[in-house]
Amino acid sequence: DTGVSQDPRHKITKRGQNVTFRCDPISEHNRLYWYRQTLGQGPEFLTYFQNEAQLEKSRLLSDRFSAERPKGSFSTLEIQRTEQGDSAMYLCASSLFLDRDYNEQFFGPGTRLTVL
């Protein structure tokens, strides 16, 4: 399968614990995005990378959240000291950005986080 993959698919944790999610984009894609999706809502942008550089972060991304893409390939999203409000589906997407004209994003299956 050459699509976007995410691991784990489900994570249950206790409040206050740290969690880390991984996203493997489509191999030739230079951009990688993280979104959060809560029940009944559309995905909300968190951050994106172009290669290894983190170019933009949403105000939704509090200090407890950190994302990395160290070699411009896979990315990790870490949430420290989880809170119940962090429970959501975390989606990763990747795209091949060549210029402003075309930026189709391909989504992974998501990681569903439940904070007890």
Partner 1 sequence: AQTVTQSQPEMSVQEAETVTLSCTYDTSESNYYLFWYKQPPSRQMILVIRQEAYKQQNATENRFSVNFQKAAKSFSLKISDSQLGDTAMYFCASTPGNQFYFGTGTSLTVIP
Question: Which residue, 39 or 63, is less far from partner 1 as judged by CB?
Answer: 39
Question: Which residue, 16 or 55, is less far from partner 1 as judged by CB?
Answer: 55
Binding region for partner 1 (CB under 8 A) out of 16-24, 37-45, 63-71, 74-82: 37-45
Q: Which of 16, 56, 78, 81 binds partner 1 (CB under 8 A)?
A: 56
Return the closest-CA partner of residue 31 out of 84, 99, 83, 82. Answer: 99
SS (H, E, C) 44-87: EEEEEEECCEEEEECCCCCCCEEEECCCCCCEEEEECCCCHHHC
Binding mask 77-116 for partner 1 (x = CB under 8 A): --------------x--------xxxxxxxxxxx------
Say if residues 53 and 36 touch (Cβ distance below 8 Å): no
Handedness of CA 5, 96, 33, 91 (dihedral sign): negative
> How many residues belong to the site for partner 1 (CB under 8 A)?
26
The site for partner 1 (CB under 8 A) is made up of 3-4, 33, 35, 40-45, 48, 55-56, 58, 91, 100-110
